[in-house]
A = this chain, B = another copy of it.
Amino acid sequence: MGESRHGPRERMVFSAAQLIRRDGVAATGMREVAAHAGAPRGSLQHYFPGGKEQLVNEAVGWAGRYAGKRIARFLAGLEEPTPSGLFAAMVAQWTDEYTARGFAAGCPVAAATVDCASADGSTREAVAAAFTTWRAPLAEALTGMGVPAARAESLATLMISTLEGAILMSRAEQDAQPLTTAARELGPLLDAAVTPAG
């Protein structure tokens, strides 16, 4: 959607993220990325002289920024902002995709973590940074809802952990139930953390 509006470089990063979250890092080929992006193969070494590692890192970074920006958009979509509502929206993004397009893909950051966390390249720092750029706006959103700052950090971490794990389990079982269960069970806990109601 709207791929032609972006340059070929950005399209390749986007395609890399798509393929990585579906097949994993190791199983995603450079030629495959170029083909998926409709970009010429020769552009790979031109835009990514750092090779596959650079491309993967940028894909992970893109995913992290995307997730971070989504927080604000989810927040804007809630008529009455509550932690449980925000978490439900985060979960719904995945249940919607899974019911509409199947359980083909997971989170690209998770895939890169699994495939590259032990190989101490720059990719491990990239995934750490991605989680940070995801968690920071989430914690900020929680504080904006009345959650104490210290607690907000913990709950933001918990929300991302649970979401990532639920994505994983739902994909494995090809059933969105782990995702819906996470939203349902965690919601009250999150709402109970707002100060005026505590």
The reply to whether the CB of A55 lies closer than 8 angstroms to some CB of chain B is: no
Bound CA–CA A165/B154 (angstroms):
14
The reply to whether the CB of A182 lies closer than 8 angstroms to some CB of chain B is: yes
- A160 neighbours in B (Cβ, 8 Å): 165, 169
The reply to whether A158 and B185 contact each other, CB–CB distance below 8 Å, is: yes
- A130 neighbours in B (Cβ, 8 Å): 172
Interface segment among A35-43, A71-79, A101-109, A140-148: the answer is A101-109
The reply to whether B109 and A114 contact each other, CB–CB distance below 8 Å, is: no
- A131 neighbours in B (Cβ, 8 Å): 169, 172-173
The reply to whether A157 and B174 contact each other, CB–CB distance below 8 Å, is: no
The reply to whether A169 and B161 contact each other, CB–CB distance below 8 Å, is: yes
Interface size class of A (residues with CB under 8 A): 35 or more
- A22 neighbours in B (Cβ, 8 Å): 118
The reply to whether A161 and B189 contact each other, CB–CB distance below 8 Å, is: no
Interface membership of chain A positions 117-130, coded 1 if the CB is closer than 8 angstroms to chain B and 0 otherwise: 11100001001101
- A104 neighbours in B (Cβ, 8 Å): 117-118
Q: Give the nearest-CB partner of A126 in chain B.
A: B172
The reply to whether A185 and B154 contact each other, CB–CB distance below 8 Å, is: yes
- A127 neighbours in B (Cβ, 8 Å): 172
Q: What are 30 A-B pairs at a CB distance below 8 A?
A: A23-B115, A24-B114, A24-B115, A26-B27, A26-B115, A106-B117, A109-B172, A115-B115, A117-B172, A124-B172, A124-B174, A131-B169, A132-B173, A154-B181, A157-B169, A157-B178, A158-B162, A158-B182, A158-B185, A160-B165, A161-B165, A161-B168, A161-B181, A162-B165, A164-B165, A165-B165, A165-B166, A186-B189, A188-B189, A189-B189
